[in-house]
Amino acid sequence: MKHALFLAALPALLALPALADVKPADAAPFAGSWQIAFPDGEGVIVNVPQVSCEDPAVITQLDEDTLHARTPGGDMGAWDVKAFGGRFPWWREDGASLVADWVRDDAFLLAGKDATGIQTDWANAKQWTRCPAAAE
């Protein structure tokens, strides 16, 4: 039993030194209005956004490294943006976490955790694509 517990905790223990490399990141690039859809990719024939630019998700910058996200489905709350390994973890005060990975200048993938609660679930990530600026 003790060995199983140790083996279960080992990935988390090995990740501790890596957390030392996590740094606050600029939240400004994420600010704006976004449509949300499944990622573009091979085999995708029709990709209808779950959130469109007609009623977009909105991210506002609260301070240098904190953002607030709201979708038509509800308030996602405030998130501290970090930088780690070329990606951008978002951490919330309640322990929730997401990871953003820029795929273009105007689009990023946003993924939560998989069923283990340890690994990022890139297979179910959503692509956030910046909405065009409104004409004045």
State the pLDDT confidence band at 7, using cuts at 50, 70 and 90.
very low
Nearest Cα to Cα of residue 24 among 76, 68, 63: 63
Token pair for residue 7?
């083996």
State the pLDDT confidence band at 133, using cuts at 50, 70 and 90.
confident
Pairing of strands 126-130, 66-71: unpaired
DSSP for residue 48: -
Q: Domain spans of the chain?
A: 21-130
CB atoms within 10 A of CB 81: 21
Write down the pLDDT at residue 114: 92
Token pair for residue 101?
């990975």
- DSSP string of 74-121? EEEEEEEEEEBTTBEEEE-TTS-EEEEEEEETTEEEEE-B-TTSSSB-
- Using CA atoms, how far apart are residues 14 and 90, in angstroms rounded to an integer? 21
Its CATH class, for the domain covering 21-130, is mainly beta
Average pLDDT value over all residues in the chain: 87
Calculate mean pLDDT across residues 104-122. 94
